[in-house]
Structure formats: C-alpha cells, structure tokens
Amino acid sequence: MEPSKATGTAIASLRQLRGLSLSECANLSELSVEQVSAVESGGGRVEWVAALARQYGLAAEDFDGALVKLNGDPLTTVFLFQSEAQSFDIEDLVPLERAMRAARLFAAFSPDVQAAGLRRRAFTAVAESGPLSADAARQGHALARKVRASLGLPEAPLGDLRLILEERFGIPVLVDSLQSPSLRAAAALDANRACAAVLLAANDISRQQNPWLARVYLAHELCHILFDPSTPGRVQIALDDRGEGRARGPYALREARARGFAAELLLPKEGLIALFKGQDPPSNLIEARTRVELASQHFQTPGEITIHHLSNMGFLDHDLKMNLLGHGFGAVGSDSTTLPACGALPLCLNDLPQVHPLWQPLSPAQPIPAYVTTAQRAAEETLRRDLERVIDAAIAKAKSGSFQEATVQLVGYIEAQLMGSQADQARAVFDAIDVKTLPPQVATSLGTLSQHYGALVDPARRRYVTRLLEVLPSFEGYDAARVAKLAARMR
C-alpha cells in the first residue's frame, strides 16, 4: 500500500468515521501528528501508511490499486461487511464518511435526538436465525411486524419511507455517487449504536428505472441498523451488493433476514389479507398478474419482490410464481418516497441552520469538530435513559406485587443486550440498580439467574451481589443464616 492521494483520503475518511482527532489517531498508531497528517495528505512513508491501516483492521495486502478487500474481521475498528463477490472501491470511504457525519450532526443538533434514539433502542440487536436462509427470512418477517406495530401501522401502506426513517428513528438518508461495482446502498452505525445513516447510490440504474426500489433499499438498511449485532467502540457499515445475486459468505443469513424484513415491512401480511378480502388464490396467470399488480400498486413495491412475498405468504402458488417471474412487469406508478439530491444535505437537517456551515468537503488536516463529542454525549444520555426506563418499569412491576414479571423484565433486557453484543450495556444494568429500591425477592432472583452469564457481566454483577448482601439483613425475614445461603447461591 504505497502513499498516494487516494490512500491518504481513505485513511483520513477512516479517522473521521471513527470520530478520532489527529492526536488520538497518532497515539493509537504510535506515530506523530505530523506523520499522520503527511499520510492523510497523500505522502509519508509506506510503514506509516501500514501502521494507520492496521489501526482500522486493514493490512497492506488488503489493498489492490483503487480497491480494498474487506473480510469482516471482528477486530476491525471501522467494520464493513458485504457480499464475497464484491470489491470495495477505496473512494467510497468519502461518501460513507459524509453519511456518518450526517448521523452525528443529527445527534448533536436535532431536538428530536433523544426520542429517536430511544425508539431505536426499543429494538434490540439479535443474532440472525439459521441454519437456512428461510429461517432468517421468517425472523425478518417477525421483526418487521414488531416495527410496524411500533409505528401503529399493522396493515396500511407506509407512505414516504425516507420520512419514517428520519422522523421516527433519527436516521438521515443521503444520496451520493458510488464507485464500487454493484453497490446500491449502505447503512452506517456509530459506536454504541449512537447514531446511524443510510446511503443510496445516485448512479444506480435499477433504481432510476424503478423508483420503488428506493423503498426496498431503505427498509433493508433499517433492518441492519435496528437488529444487526454490533460492537461498542467501532463504526459498523453494511454494504449491500445486489448486483451479483444472493449474498454469500458469513453474512448470507443476515442478508436473508434483511430481505425478509424489507418484504414484510412494505407488504405486511395483515395488509395483504385486508386487500384481497378473503378472495380465493388465483387459479391462472391472468388472475395472478392482476393480484400482483393490485398489491404492487397499493404498497408501492417492485413486481419481483411482490411476487416472491405473495408466494411466501401463501397468496400465490409456486408454479404461478415461476411463470410470472419469467415475464416482464409493467411500469411502476407514482412513488411517495422523497430523497435529497446527490451529495446534498439530508432533508431532515435542512431546517437546522447551525448544520449548514458544517456540511463541508473532507479536509485531512481538519480536527474533529465539537459536534462529534456532542453526538457521543447524546448517545451516552440515550443509553442512560434507556436503562432508567427498564429499571423503573421493573420497580413499578415489583411494587404492584408482580415479582416474577419484574425479574423477567430485567433478565430479558440483560439477555437481549448480550445477544446483540452489547455487553457493556448489560453490565451497566447491575451498576445502575439501587438494591434498596427492589424487593428482595426480585433482587436475589436477579443475582441468582445472572450467574450463568459469567464473565460476560462480571465484575459488575459481583459488585451488585456485594451491595445486595450488605442490605439484605435490613429486610424482614432475612436473618444471617438465610443471607449466608443466598450468598452461596449467588457467588
């Protein structure tokens, strides 16, 4: 990986994605600020470039001219995953940096950031089902129904999907020119699930021919943002390649889940039942085409996706599905989804005047602006409020005498955080609980049931048990002998 202008811009973009200052980057890579600045300006030495690449989980051999090969190494600081068939063009790190910048600007300046962050946090990341793609797709259907229920729209068409992502979940949507072959969309998620953005390729010919594909891409990326496991401390970017067929490799199930999620979010089964009003399944090709066109126009979904989902939901038999897929489909109708112009500020940021001066081209020597720190503080506040919400709800259940429900709420939240690779947030539960506010039945159950998490939640759980054992003797019925037995069970 020789020093060059393209490499320098890519390295600078990786630093901006991580929200690191030049001095922070220098400390992590054991280089000087001057050496980091030289590389980001397109110069420096080969060994300096290699040191910076290693910091982001890349190696010199991963670079091949203008392309960088990414393998989903879990240790990568800026983590990108994609189909095995695709090479990622290094120039696309710049629009991805812009997408992350938009997410942080929203987190720093939007008055809706806390509400939007809590809505995202209401959906916990979870590992994808398997071992078959059909298992993952069915999981995607179930997750989409949960999202629709939260929107209060179990069966109606969703309308402007860009508006839903931005207003309900605080996820800015951008459009930009991308150089990577077949890369049509990407989702970027900041450390600690702090903020997120979706990027659509402006030069996607398929979307230009069928604007309804934008709805599919946005729904697909929403699944990645809400439900894909991520690791605190790194930026995660999902690169969706739909030009080479089905995804292969370690993320095939994750892609199958996102496809199933998008189909059910856009074409809800309840909505299809209401639309067809108990009609018998079509018995011939003409009836089948009419049925597909009705659903496609009603929900604003491309024909091929509509055909597949109607078949998966039992509204279309396999032979008719295959017959329909072999024929072309008509032109789409009007599309309710609005998008910003290529390279423009996301529409949700247009009404924030303080944001406009910050929407500038990447400057390698530019220090990390203050809004990055503000966005990180907003994320920490969201995590704190999320914890308070869960603990307060458990306390309310316990006060009403529902001890088992209170315990299940707390244990369920901890398990959900661990399943989504959010161990820090799971440990934070134990540190945030005031053991004096919980009835001893709930407090001791939590200490006992959480034992099997072991090292995942320790030492926070051990601190919790220590505090609990100190206050238990103050509760009626908890004499020294009983406390000793409980201590043996919890330790």
pLDDT in tens, 266-302: 999 999 999 998 788 898 999 999 999 999 999 999 9
Q: Are 349 and 355 contacting, i.e. CB atoms less than 8 angstroms apart?
A: yes
Could you say which of 264, 297, 314 is where a domain stops?
A: 264
250 domain-assigned: yes
103 domain-assigned: yes
pLDDT of residue 240: 79
The overall longest dimension of the chain from CA atoms, in Å, is: 79
Secondary structure in 3-state letters for 66-86? CEECCCCCCCCCEEEECCCCC
Residue 230 and residue 90 in one domain: yes
Could you say which of 235, 264, 293 is where a domain stops?
A: 264
Q: Are 316 and 281 contacting, i.e. CB atoms less than 8 angstroms apart?
A: yes
Q: Which residues contact 484 (CB under 8 A, 6 or more apart)?
A: none
Domain residues for the domain of 214 are 66-264
164 domain-assigned: yes
Angle at 332 between CA 330 and CA 336, to 5 degrees: 170
Strands (DSSP E) contained in 32-138 are: 63-64, 67-68, 78-81, 88-89
Q: How far apart are the first and last CA of the chain?
A: 52
| Letter string b/e over residues 374-383, b meaning 16 or more CB atoms within 10 A of that residue's CB | bbbebbeebb
Could you say which of 210, 234, 264 is where a domain stops?
A: 264
**CA–CA distances in Å: residue 91 to residues 54, 342, 365, 388:** 19, 16, 18, 42
Q: Are 340 and 202 contacting, i.e. CB atoms less than 8 angstroms apart?
A: no
4 domain-assigned: no
- Rounded-to-10 torsion of CA 304, 305, 306, 308: 90
Beta bridge partners of 67: 64, 89
**C-alpha to C-alpha distance for 273 and 279, rounded to whole angstroms:** 9
Residue 73 and residue 212 in one domain: yes
pLDDT of residue 251: 79
Verify cis geometry, omega within 30 degrees of 0, for the bond prior to 459. yes
Residue 255 and residue 400 in one domain: no
339 domain-assigned: no
243 domain-assigned: yes
Pairing of strands 78-81, 63-64: unpaired
Q: Are 37 and 3 contacting, i.e. CB atoms less than 8 angstroms apart?
A: no
Low-confidence ranges of the chain (pLDDT < 70): 1-2, 59-77, 82-87, 241-250, 328-332, 362-366
Helix (H, G, I), strand (E, B), or coil: what is residue 400?
coil
374 domain-assigned: yes
State the total domains in the chain.
Answer: 2
pLDDT of residue 54: 80
**CA–CA distances in Å: residue 341 to residues 16, 199, 338:** 23, 12, 10
Using only C-alpha atoms, the chain has a radius of gyration, in whole angstroms, of 25
Region of 140 on the Ramachandran plot (φ > 0 left; ψ -120 to 50 alpha; else beta)? alpha
381 domain-assigned: yes
Rounded to 10°, the helix 133-151/252-266 angle is 40
